[in-house]
Amino acid sequence: MPGYLGRDDQVALVEAIRTVVQKAPLYVPTMPRTGKPMSVRMTNCGTLGWVTDKERGYRYQATHPETGAPWPPMPERLLQLWREVGGYPHPPEACLVNFYAADAKMGLHQDRDEQDFDAPVVSVSLGDTCLFRVGQNTRDGQTVSFKLASGDVVVLGGQGRLAFHGVDRVYPSTSALLKKGGRINLTLRRVTKPA
């Protein structure tokens, strides 16, 4: 959904994320088994957060892996966004905050650590433009690439819920939203199956 969020919404969201990051600092996640650091820095807000490290791999947990504190609450504007575009009757539990510096990227992957694939994944881009790639439900399927700019919203839902996707590169200095540049991606997810 190109340009879904206007400039004022984007500024307000960056401010809300600044508050989150003050309480739950960005940290460097590491890959399961190899312990290789990811190029993206991460934190979360919401009742659950997505984390990864060498020893315990990909998972959701209620606390920050370095501070041990509960994740800060999800900003109301994000809950509202989910209601607007999610098409799902229960709120998201996790908002993963990804920060991409100029040289960061994210390899092709599926979001499949959740219990409920009926819920969509809703993702927001803020700051510098990136090259996003999305494919099929198998890794070797055809992919298409397009740019995601600040304010764009992506919904992976229905048939596309388990589509492989990734970020091939960030284009530096393409947005003035973040004073020091870079890209923020917010990924909202329902983790548990509602009762």
Ligand X SMILES: O=C(O)CCC(=O)C(=O)O
Map the footprint of ligand X across residues 17-76, applying CB under 6 A.
none
Give the torsion sign (CA, 161, 71, 77, 1).
negative
Of these, 74, 94, 96, 155, which contacts ligand X (CB under 6 A)? 96
Taking the least distance from each CB to Mn ion, the nearer of 12 and 113 is 113
Radius of gyration of the chain (CA): 16
Which position's Cβ is nearest Mn ion? 111
**Quick one: CA dihedral 107, 109, 19, 179, positive or negative?**
positive
93 near Mn ion, rule: CB under 5 A: no
Residues within window 145-184 making contact with ligand X, judged by CB under 6 A = 165, 167
Identity of the residue, 12 or 26, whose beta carbon is nearer to Mn ion in the bound complex: 26
Distance CA 45, CA 27 (A): 14
- Selected range binding Mn ion among 69-77, 83-91, 110-118, 176-184, rule: CB under 5 A: 110-118
Q: Does 152 bind Mn ion (CB under 5 A)?
A: no
Short-list 78, 42, 51, 39, CA closest to 170: 39
- Select the residue whose beta carbon is closest to ligand X and give its number: 185
- CB-based contact 182:82 (threshold 8 Å): no
In angstroms, the CA 147 to CA 2 distance is 10
Q: Rule CB under 6 A: which residues touch ligand X? A: 96, 98, 106, 111, 123, 132, 165, 167, 185, 187
Q: Rule CB under 5 A: which residues touch Mn ion? A: 111
